[in-house]
Amino acid sequence: MALIRSVFQDELDGVSQSLVDLSKMVAESMKKATEALLGAELRVAEEVISTDEKIDDFQHELDSRIIDIIARQQPVASDLRALITALRMSADLERMGDLSHHIAKIARLRHPEVAVPQELHDIVRHMGDATTKIAEKVGTVIETRNTNMALELEQDDDVIDTLHRELIGKLTSGSWDKGVAAAVDMTLLGRYYERFADHAVSVSRRVYFLVTGEFAKH
């Protein structure tokens, strides 16, 4: 029985490590997507777009592995909770990769022009830096199961929300003169960054629940 339990624990640890690896992939994807967006870097944009397929494949393989473990081991209590939570976290992380992909597609669509007007570069750069750091922190939260750090993600998300409101304020101030297409691009971009952070918070809240058995209060 001890050997069986040891093998099962190794499988659980492998799932956790895969989630950490997935978080690193989406963090790097977001970093490069912002780089492509602000620098009109077509090669980098294409790299992000192609990487999204790898992220999808990685997530599908991880989900299949988790389902296989559940079917074979028939876990109960905390072990089952850990595996079901892992399925939900992988879905959030995969969606974060999709949002980076969407950002890169706007960079590709507007190439060779820069999609972001110069006066909005600082806001978008801050959003890109902040979301990248959030994704990196999520990986640490998954790896360490640090509940205090998990709760910090809520505050990190507030920074993104503030930047998002600032961006929308620029678009609706009455002085916008960059045209409808640019306004649509910026509206979408703001939403992509904001949703990326929301999914990261969702992952951190799931880790908190996994460790404590309680839902974190907003």
Specify the DSSP class assigned to residue 191: H
Report the pLDDT value the prediction gives residue 218, as an integer from 0 to 100. Answer: 64
Which tokens sit at 201?
């918070």
Question: pLDDT (tens digit, 9 = 90+) per residue, 156-179?
Answer: 999 999 999 999 999 998 889 999
Dihedral sign computed on CA atoms, order 118, 101, 186, 137: negative
Residue among 195, 194, 208 at smallest CA distance from 166: 194
Asked if residue 107 has pLDDT above 80, the reply is yes
Mean per-residue pLDDT, 50-75? 94
Instruction: For residues 107 and 113, give the distance between their C-alpha atoms in angstroms, rounded to a whole number.
Output: 8
| C-alpha 10 chain-centroid distance | 26
Tell me the two tokens of residue 10. 């190794």
Q: Which residue has the tokens 């750090």?
A: 149
How far apart are the C-alpha atoms of 198 and 126, rounded to whole Å? 16
pLDDT at 74: 86
In this prediction, residue 1 has a pLDDT band, given cuts at 50, 70 and 90, of low
Task: Cis check for the bond before 112: say yes or no (omega within 30 of 0).
Answer: yes
- For 113-148, the pLDDT digits (tens) are 999 999 999 999 999 999 999 999 999 999 999 999
DSSP 8-state assignment for residue 119: G
**Which pLDDT value is given to residue 101?**
98
Where do we find the tokens 């559940």?
70
Query: In the chain, what's the furthest Cα-to-Cα distance?
Result: 71
What is the structure's pLDDT at 6? Answer: 75
Return the ∠ at Cα 155 (arms to 150 and 160), rounded to 5°. Answer: 115
What is the chain's mean pLDDT, rounded?
94
The label of the residue with tokens 């509940």 reads 147
Average of per-residue pLDDT across 31-49: 97
Other beta carbons less than 10 A from residue 214's beta carbon = 9
Q: DSSP for 10-21? A: HHHHHHHHHHHH
Residue with tokens 């989406």: 26
**What pLDDT does 65 receive?**
96
pLDDT at 2 exceeding the cut of 70: no
Q: Which of 63, 38, 60, 33 is nearest to 49 (CA)?
A: 33
Indicate whether 3 pLDDT > 80: no
Instruction: Indicate the pLDDT class of residue 76, thresholds 50, 70 and 90.
Output: confident
Give pTM, 2 decimals. 0.94
Mean pLDDT of 85-108: 97
